[in-house]
Structure 1
Amino acid sequence: MIRSESIEKRSFPLVELEADLVVTGGGLSGICCAVTAARHGLKVVLVQDRSVLGGNASSEIRLWILGATSHMGNNNRWAREGGLVDEILVENMYRNPEGNPVILDAILLDKVVSEPNITLLLNTTVYHAEKQDSATIASLKAYCSQNQTEYELKAPLFCDASGDGVVGFLSGAAFRMGAESMEEFNELFAPTEAYGELLGHSLYFYSKDTGRPVRFTPPSFALTDITQIPKFRSFNSQEYGCKLWWIEYGGRMDTVHDTEKIKWELWKIVYGVWNYIKNSGNFPEAETLTLEWVGMIPGKRESRRFEGDYMLKQQDVVEQRLHDDAVAFGGWSLDLHPSDGIYAAGPGCTQWHSKGIYQIPFRSLYSRNINNLLLAGRIISASHVAFGSCRVMATSAYVSQASAMAAVLCKTLGCNPAALNDNGNVATLQQLLLRSGQHIPGVVAKDTDDLVQQATITASSELLLSGLEEDSVPQPLDIAVAQMVPLNAGKLPAIQLHAYSDAPTTLRAEIRISSRRGSYTPDTTIAQFEFAIEPGKNCVELRSDAAIEQMQYVFIVLHKNPLVKISRSDKRITGILSVFSTTNPAVSNYGKQEAPDGIGIDSFEFWCPQRRPAGQNIALQFGSPLRAFAAANISNGVARPTTQPNAWVADLNDAAPTLTLQWAAPKRIKKLILSFDTDLDHPMESVLMSHPENVMPFCVRNYTIFDESGNKVYEKKGNYQTRNEIELPDAVVTSRLSIKTEHPSANTPAAIFEIRCFE
């Protein structure tokens, strides 16, 4: 029994924690920052002011995780983010293909608590920053409402991943809110004058069919006049969750300090909308629906943006400008919303896509005036226009991994973040990121510690792709389709295919490339064809004297003609993909982006894949086989398709596809990294949507590693992850390693993007 009585005031217990890095904010960005840093040896304190991790991705808000893949609705091929955020998405796909947000909560929590170097503080709010001097944070003070405990958090480095930038704000870091004028950065999509309006908050609801009639009595605060919402006719009984992203409000308010007022308005709207659906009589199918869940806190889009040594701009996104200090990439559209949100008369957003992914520089990931503060998530140094793209969760998490690795390097070198640029250590940072699974467009891994770089690499077979078999029923060309194939420099090979028709007609075809090598917008035509098609089976050959100067992807385009049928192939091969001239209104893809003059945006066609089980390749044959799948690709420093597949792909007829690494002298090997194909085109939306697979069809599931004597070094059964990092219990001394794989299926050959070996 405890009894206490005192006329003196009491204080809550104070716990002091010291770490190498304090990360504030437990959303996806904070998670990826903390776990990445912890896995590389840093002691990390992760502070989250909510009871669950995940932020906008959590069950509290329930927004799907998206980034450069943009629902497969743009021209960014193989653009899913790498490293830890990819690991999380693939893990969620495996455990949770139904998109249950509660399961995702558990997966995120599991990732954090599995790291012994992380001290996790949930329900803990940072409220004060102590300064060592005007430019240096000494410690943070935080309070946990659940255990009535105060914390003092000390570290040489701090990372703000809090979304609203609480640490940056409290410490005096330079920040902005609102939109810059067009003149400041010469951004043609920016307003002519700077203004303070922002993107608003959103709140979602879920409904459930109970199978019997359900009554609904609205609360007193529910919106009664639904016509106040200009788009009220767009509501329906089938949409729920983050498909209702446009239930948005607060852009004309202070999106930090007015959040509670914004939340009450959103509650008013949500309950008013549900009352309209249930009780207006316009939705008889809603009779058996019940309101299963309503968000308790709004999902935030925009508040403070902090100033680094460089501010990402519209031109960086649209023109894909190059940066020597690139550490990440983005690819979501320039996605800005009306400040009036749901009360606006016009569209809920304006999305303008770029022709490809763009680099994000390290100079945007730390404060320009607080020298030990790293930035992560949506608060990085970017203009309001560029923020419209880099703010989305997968991109935010991706840059956070770079911030984490910068902290690792800062500890090693004993410096602050800006000094990495000043001292020329960004190249080291880039290589550390690439080793961890980060893809940085235009940057190639050159790892001097990687023993594979010294090995002779051979394989039991290498795919020589002479064609894609005609093994499915011909399908009409209801929409235009293009087969993407990687071709070496030189004259194009002849391409043959079969066209079927019941009546005389014409088939138009083209061969296209992208004007920006490494991008996948087929905007340059290098050959055109027109074929007279007769009833029955027609043999068609695309033969041209056209040539390409460098290896790149070429698009074999077959234009729309419903009278013509083309066979597809059931073969699924790493680095081979079909794309379609189709639409995806969810991301403002209406087949072609037609930008008005004077806003600095490109106009171009969209060519996008179809989700499986659709999206088969076109059945065709090549006059000379494609030689793009060599064993040497595993050491070329790129671990995903870019201008070529960058993978070893075995021949399907090889019963035991094996890669062999041979050294002139025995090597001591303690660690291996293998990278597999988990379909980096698949967005893997984390919640709401369901997926037909929990393991990607290209992924090698089973493999065994042997030494020079045939001894089994390692065996993996049931792999589904992109990267396998293998720490051997005992180092192996050998002059040869053989990696024996199994084909994922009868239609998909084994493939490996990368292998690395370390002492």
Structure 2
Amino acid sequence: MKVSSERADLVVVGGGLAGICAAITAAREDQLVHLVEKKSLLGGRIGPNHRQPIDQSNLIPQVYQRESGILNEVWPLFFKSNKEGTYLGISRALRDWVEAENKIKLFLNTEVEEVKTASGIINSVISRDNLTNERTSFVGKYYLDCTGIGRLAELSGSDGEKGVDLNEFGDVARDIPLKTSRVACLIQIAEGKDDYSFSLPDWVRLKWEENHLSARLNLMESLERSPTGVHLLEWEGPATTNEVEASELAFCAWDFLKNRSSFRKVFKKLRLVTISDEISTKPVFRANGLHRVSLDDLQHSESVDGAVVLARTLLREDFSMVSRVEEKKLLPHPVEIKPQCLISSDFKNLLLAGSSASCSELSSRSLSMPVVAAQMAISSAITIVSAVSQNRLPKTICKEGYIDGLQSKLGRLNQLFSRDGKEDTDNLSIGANATASSTVMGPSDCLSDIEQKIKTAHCLIQFPVGSSFLENLSLELMGQNHQVFSVKLMEGSGYHHSLPGNCIFVDNVKIASGVNQLEINLALPIKNKGWHFLEIHSNTDFVIPLYERGLVGYVLHDKKRGFYLNQAKSITEFYPVLTTSPKVSPSPMITLSPAPKDYEAGNLVNNYFRPNHLPQLWVSKPTNFKYSEFVDLEWKQPIEISRIEISFDPSYDFIYSGKPKSFEEDNFSSLVREYKIYITKENQASEMIIHQKENSLALAVHCFDPMEIKSLELEILSTHGLNRAQVYQIRTYA
């Protein structure tokens, strides 16, 4: 059969979130990219064929934990293009994103069957079109395996490993059957008109009660949300003589639901209408790289030199393949990943991402989470771009003397790559003086209407302290007359000071009759600037009102009560009350004296484009934008610039729900929509050089011919809904 040929700078195999992010990253760096996906729809694990969680909240204890960089474009894409809130809508939105890039050529229904290699180089990848049976040879300078199962690396003949490593926990014994069958599929349940009985076919060898407990619990929770609709079934149980089929799994579960479950009365009039093909549960092939990620690497508390990926994930604590969150361990910080695990040790032009990177088996499960795999794929793409531009091999780009350049390139994309970050020495704004039209001082300046009331007896209030002294603190709450509260003030500790640490103040405080304020006299010097936590406890319940349009950094953490299904093992007994929509989170009303100065324009000219141990952004006072808000940057001496980068606020506390959801909003309400940029030259002549009317990006980049300027003004005319301006950083470059 004739084989056609397609040539590209980069061939990305796998059209999930990781492959898409890698392709777009490389394409925007002027690389011709071919994106190859075996299914007819994009999305991979988060698409219609697998329906795994898109993201998950509270993966780490930091409130502002969501990734930045290119992933900030994904969520507004889902808001705007998936109003129906379906997995099919997710896939369509992702395709819209890919099709908008003219340097990407997309190949759907295209399955890789063969990889041709010679002398440590992949020469071509041979694929077959599942619809036409036509074969295509993809010839690229570089290849990136984003299949999630290591398909490309395995076909290339790379050395690696596959399957469970029972010694991965060392000497700690873990129970796992030596022979188990694994299968997963999707079923659709619909309402009917009559009572329907069901008898299990003789050829079905499975009994639902013999399934792994976690798989049974997952189904029960899905049915509790809604008995009708699509549900994921997983099987991990005793092995049979033949492989388990998806239909066997579906019918054994249906037999249980109709005849023996506590739901059987509800299921009398329900019908099983569709069963999907088997969802792959095959072991992942993990190619050997220049470094192998272990569980110890992921848990490492010290920062890693030369890291290129910083991501939120969970650690698996058993060998089961069932996707149950409770059996995973929460980490107190995001994990750092070295680039060497993304580079094949066998083929100079093969890079890896996600669960098929060079790692242990249990580590691969942590790296398989969509947002983690996407971060790794983006770093792999930038490594390839850097290798091409410098005419060096990827392994050289990751060595001392080159790695700083790779990290700088990631930083310019607002990609987090290490816990410590990196100073941007090319940013000319660092030396500028920043002033603003107005600045909010605290919640009392911008909060107006109560959004919700939280009834509790024990909670934490998180707030920023950027000063060296606190005189007193006032918190609005609703309690009983003369109710007594035990209060503690604690410094933040750990990564970004995001966990309660050393206690620096303790007292018992009584509220006066008819007063809804908890007044605390502190007279306290502050040794460590950053997040602080006020712990409040009483023998009687009280109410904390939360105000809409909350201020970044002011957060209520309520005490967890009872058992929360499908949540990882936590390292804290409190959980933050945060937004579940593109609108900003509500905030408690807390007043500090002296008035804080945490939101001043000076934040715009530091090295931070998102919150860390402090909010790190400029916030204007509330406005209807009848009169614009603005910030000015002025230099002592004229500078020459040709590029401006602005980091707006995309609500980093928002985490997209595990399943697709419909939102009324098209973007984060905190994001600036319309703005202008003026420059002033040494002759004092002011000139508008940019007028952006419909901004939808968290990172806005403007390039132009070099010009010498004395000052720069960012004028903000509107946002996507919030009644104030919020900006993290303005960067300028020669």
- TM-score computed with the length of structure 2 as normaliser: 0.86
Q: Secondary structure at 2:672's aligned position in 1?
A: coil
Equivalents in 2 of 1:163, 1:283: separation in Å? 37
The aligned residue for residue 741 of structure 1 is: 716
CA distance in 2, matches of 1:194, 1:78: 37
1:359 to 1:423, Cα distance in 2 relative to 1, 3 A: closer
Listed as ranges, the matches of 1:316-355 within 5 Å are 316-336=297-317, 338-339=319-320, 341=322, 350-355=327-332
1:27 aligns with 2:13: no
Q: In the TM superposition, what is the alpha-carbon distance from 1:317 to its structure 2 partner?
A: 3.1
Following superposition, the deviation at residue 550 of structure 1 comes to: 3.5
Q: Pick from 592, 600, 604 the counterpart of residue 630 of structure 1.
A: 600
1:681 to 647, 653, 662: 653
**CA, structure 1 residues 130+338, in 2 after alignment: closer, same or farther (shift >3 Å)?**
closer
Task: Verify the 8 A CA contact 1:334 1:352 in the aligned structure 2.
Answer: yes
User: Larger deviation: 624-633 or 218-227?
Assistant: 218-227
Mapped partners of 2:296, 2:45: distance in 1: 28
Give the match for residue 144 of structure 2.
Answer: 159
Partner of 1:370: 347
**SS in structure 1 at match of 2:385:** helix
User: Which amino acid is 1:556 matched to?
Assistant: L
575, 588, 600: which one pairs with 1:607?
575
Q: 1:615 to 1:39 in 2, by over 3 A?
A: closer
- Are residues 1:93 and 2:93 paired? no
Tell me by how many angstroms 1:369 deviates.
Answer: 3.2
- Does structure 1 residue 306 correspond to structure 2 residue 287? yes
How far apart are 1:62 and its partner, in Å?
A: 1.9
Return closer, same or farther for 1:429/1:171 CA change in 2, 3 Å cut-off: same
Q: CA RMSD in A?
A: 3.8
Q: 1:253 to 1:124 in 2, by over 3 A?
A: farther
Read off the aligned partner of 2:567 and give its amino acid letter: S
Larger displacement relative to structure 2 (449-458 or 416-425): 449-458
Which among 726, 729, 733 is matched to residue 754 of structure 1? 729
Distance 1:337 1:122, change over 3 A: farther
Match of 2:465 in 1: 487
**Unaligned 5+ runs, structure 1:** 1-10, 594-602
Q: 1:205 to 1:526 in 2, by over 3 A?
A: farther
3-state SS, counterpart of residue 32 of structure 1 = helix
Q: CA deviation at 1:97?
A: 5.1
* CA separation of 1:451 and 1:459: change in aligned 2, threshold 3 A: same
The answer on whether the counterparts of 2:22 and 2:378 sit within 8 Å (CA) in structure 1 is yes
Q: Could you give the per-residue CA deviations for residues 446-483 of structure 1, whole angstroms, max 9, x where no partner exists?
A: 44554534544322123222746575399464253322
Task: Find the residue that maps to 1:387 and give its secondary structure.
Answer: helix
Post-superposition CA distance 1:560-603 (Å, at most 9, x none): 6543333433342234333222368344357xx4xxxxxxxxx5
**1:89·1:686 contact (CA, 8 Å) conserved in 2?**
no
- 2:496 aligns with 518
Q: Which structure carries more strand by proportion?
A: 2
**Offset of residue 209 of structure 1:** 5.2
How many aligned positions are there? 717
Partner of 2:691: 715
CA distance in 2, matches of 1:512, 1:208: 53
Conserved? CA contact 2:667–2:720, under 8 Å: no
Residue 271 of structure 1, CA deviation: 3.6
Q: Is the 8 A contact 2:436 2:601 kept in 1?
A: yes
- 1:286-685 alignment runs, 5 A limit: 286=267, 289-291=270-272, 294-298=275-279, 300=281, 303-336=284-317, 338-339=319-320, 341=322, 350-444=327-421, 446-447=423-424, 449-453=426-430, 455-465=432-442, 467=444, 471-472=449-450, 475=453, 477-478=455-456, 480-488=458-466, 490-502=468-480, 504-533=482-511, 535-537=513-515, 539-544=517-522, 546-559=524-537, 562-582=540-560, 585-589=564-568, 593=570, 603-612=571-580, 616-652=586-622, 655-663=627-635, 671-685=643-657
What amino acid is aligned across from residue 63 of structure 2 in structure 1?
R
Q: Distance in 2 between matches of 1:53 and 1:20?
A: 21
Partners of 1:199 and 1:242 in 2: CA distance: 26
Contact 1:574 1:751 in 2 (8 A): no
Give the CA deviation at 1:35.
1.2
Of the structure 1 ranges 431-440 and 541-550, higher mean CA displacement relative to structure 2 is found in 541-550
Displacement after TM superposition at 1:192 (Å): 7.3
Distance in 1 (CA, whole Å) between partners of 2:90 and 2:41 is 11
Secondary structure of residue in 2 paired with 1:531? strand
**Residues 189 and 484 from structure 1, CA distance in 2 versus in 1: closer, same or farther, beyond 3 angstroms?**
farther
Please give the alpha-carbon distance, in whole angstroms, between the structure 2 residues aligned to 1:422 and 1:208.
57
The whole-number CA distance in structure 2 between the counterparts of 1:483 and 1:47 is 48
Q: In the alignment, residue 425 of structure 1 is paired with which amino acid? A: Y
Task: Give the direction of change, closer, same or farther, for the CA distance of 1:691–1:111 in structure 2 (3 Å limit).
Answer: closer
Distance across 1 between alignment mates of 2:183 and 2:207: 21
1:114 matched to 2:100: yes
Once residues 141 and 228 of structure 2 are traced to their aligned partners in structure 1, the CA distance between those partners, rounded to angstroms, is 41
Matching residue of 1:47: 36
Note the residue ranges of structure 2 that are not aligned, 5 or more in a row.
none
Deviations 1:221-269 (A, max 9, x none): 6678443447558633644799966x32359989xxx9x945x2x4322
CA gap 1:431/1:473 in 2 versus in 1, 3 angstroms: closer
Which whole-Å deviations, capped at 9, do the CAs of 1:116-171 have from their partners, x for residues lacking one? 222222222222222221x3222222222323322222223221111121221122
| Structure 2 Cα separation of the partners of residues 575 and 383 of structure 1 | 37
Deviations 1:278-333 (A, max 9, x none): 56694444456555654334154852223323333333333433112111222222
Q: Give distance in 2, aligned partners of 1:43 and 1:722.
A: 25
Q: Is contact 1:471–1:567 with CA below 8 Å preserved after alignment? A: no
The question of whether the paired residues in 2 share the 8 Å contact of 1:189 and 1:385 is answered with no
Mapped to 1, the partners of 2:723 and 2:416 lie a distance apart of 24
Aligned residue in 2 for 1:3: none
CA distance in 1 between counterparts of 2:289 and 2:651 reads 34
Distance, in Å, in 1 between the alignment partners of 2:127 and 2:430 is 48
User: In the aligned structure 1, how far is the partner of 2:302 from the partner of 2:424?
Assistant: 25
Aligned partners of 1:320 and 1:357 also within 8 Å: no
Distance 1:271 1:610, change over 3 A: farther
Shift of 1:751: 0.5
Cα distance, 1:409 vs structure 2: 0.2
**Cα distance in 1 between the residues matched to 2:515 and 2:703:** 56
Residue identity in the other structure for 2:701: E
SS of 1:204's equivalent in the other structure is strand
